[in-house]
């Protein structure tokens, strides 16, 4: 395994000393501590991003609803305009008919 034994000069295997093992242990613990700090920082960033994404998704949902409402208002205004134009055409025809008949009836 990668952590067993220490290779001496010329590739000869020698028994690890307590001091050598302690040094390797300190290095490994320091390395683990660095990674732990990195993980904590990354986790904070992930949580912050998650909150931002949730806020943006809520805003997007709100904007989509507003867009649908705006389209519905536009559609209703278009229908109202078309109805008003239809009434105008009917009234113009009636006025023209009344003028042709000399204002009777």
**Both structure tokens of 20:** 């050598």
The phi, psi pair for 7, rounded to 5°, reads: -90, 130
Q: Give a yes or no: residue 7 inside a domain.
A: no
- The predicted pLDDT at position 15 comes to 73
SS3 96: helix
Q: Give a yes or no: residue 83 inside a domain.
A: yes
Note down the domain range covering 28.
15-100
Mean pLDDT calculated for residue range 86-98: 96
Report the domain count for the chain: 1
Mean pLDDT calculated for residue range 20-26: 93
- The predicted pLDDT at position 3 comes to 55
**Cα–Cα distance measured from residue 29 to residue 80, given in angstroms and rounded to the nearest whole number:** 75
The answer to whether 15 and 7 are in contact (CB under 8 A) is no
- The predicted pLDDT at position 23 comes to 93
- The predicted pLDDT at position 102 comes to 82
Q: Give a yes or no: residue 38 inside a domain.
A: yes
């Amino acid at each position: 395994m990668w952590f067993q034994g220490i290779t001496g000069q010329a590739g000869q295997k020698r028994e690890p000393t307590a001091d050598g093992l302690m040094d390797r242990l300190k290095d490994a613990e320091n390395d683990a501590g660095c990674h732990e700090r990195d993980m904590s920082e990354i986790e904070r960033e992930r949580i912050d991003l998650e909150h931002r994404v949730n806020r943006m998704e809520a805003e997007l949902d709100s904007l989509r609803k507003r867009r649908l409402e705006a389209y519905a208002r536009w559609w209703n205004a278009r229908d109202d305009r078309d109805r008003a134009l239809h009434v105008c055409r009917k009234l113009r025809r009636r006025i023209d008919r009344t003028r042709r008949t000399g204002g009777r009836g």
